[in-house]
Structure 1
Amino acid sequence: MKIRNIIEGKKEWRAHMARVKGLPQDYQIVYKEIQKYLFKVGPVELTNGTGLLSGIVDLFEEGAVLGKSVLEVTGSDVAAFCDDLIKDSKTYADIYQESVDQEVRKAMKKVTDKTK
């Protein structure tokens, strides 16, 4: 990765976080929890720019302008809201699960090859 790309990425991230700081306090709290959740279980693409996270900020900004509480926007189960956002995305958990399955298949093949 080129230095210019890194610098540009940092600028984008700072601008993104400035938008988050402009949200009402309750929205900021929920956004930070969503961010933590997605960084732990989220899609692989999440680290490529701020697309999904920017979309959440767009949604939150709109909800705030309409005078809605943050839980009116996300629903009371914020984790379910996150899961719905990433339901069609490949996650790090999926990648890990695939690697475990692959290792088990390799090990089982070795065992069956030895018994022949």
Structure 2
Amino acid sequence: MSFWETITGSDLTRQWKVFEARAAALPADYPAAWEQIKGNLLPYAGFTGRNLMPIIDAALGLLEEASVDGQSVDEVLGDDIPGFCAALAGGAGARTYRDRWREQLNANVARKLGRLGG
């Protein structure tokens, strides 16, 4: 990965296109699950989303293996796809970008109030 790819994110775009091509080759009931997985994993992304690429690759690999084995989406993911995605991202209590931003905002407000009160 070159410096330019890192700055522009073109490597991520290429990788994402490969993921989408792999997902398009899945059987009929899998694309809907893939869309739900993407939607539920994106809140756990960092600023660039690079941290999610291995997780998304693993989730897609799981769907591919399950389709080859003839398993249904429900057998693989269960009925709680958001919970499945939270577990993939680091557990049910995994911090999202919203949590990080909230902590940063609270720290900034506390710092400002500390200056005003002191």
Give the structure-1-normalised TM-score: 0.80
RMSD of the alignment, in Å?
2.4
Provide Cα deviations, 1:18-75, integer angstroms capped at 9, x if missing partner. Answer: 1010111211111111102222x22327711721111111000111111111111111
Q: Which residue of 2 is the match for residue 28 of structure 1?
A: 31
State the Cα distance separating 1:9 from its structure 2 match: 3.3
Q: Which residue of 2 is the match for residue 93 of structure 1?
A: 98
How many pairs were matched up? 112
Q: Which residue of 2 is the match for residue 17 of structure 1?
A: 20
The alignment-based identity, stated in percent, is 25
Stretch of structure 1 that moved more, 6-15 or 72-81:
6-15
State the Cα distance separating 1:87 from its structure 2 match: 2.6
Provide Cα deviations, 1:72-108, integer angstroms capped at 9, x if missing partner. Answer: 1111111111111113554212211211221231133
For 1:104, which of 99, 104, 109 is the aligned residue? 109
For 1:2, which of 1, 4, 23 is the aligned residue? 4
Alignment gaps of 5+ in structure 2? none
Matched ranges for 1:77-92 at <5 A: 77-87=80-90, 90-92=95-97
Q: Which residue of 2 is the match for residue 44 of structure 1?
A: 46
Q: Specify the structure having the higher radius of gyration (Cα).
A: 1
Moved over 3 A (4+): 3-9
2:109 is paired with a residue of what secondary structure? helix
1:54 is paired with a residue of what secondary structure? helix
Alignment gaps of 5+ in structure 1? none
Q: Which residue of 1 is the match for residue 63 of structure 2?
A: 60
Counterpart CA distance in 2 for 1:87 and 1:7 is: 26
Report the residue type matching 2:4 in the other structure. Answer: K
Give the structure-2-normalised TM-score: 0.78
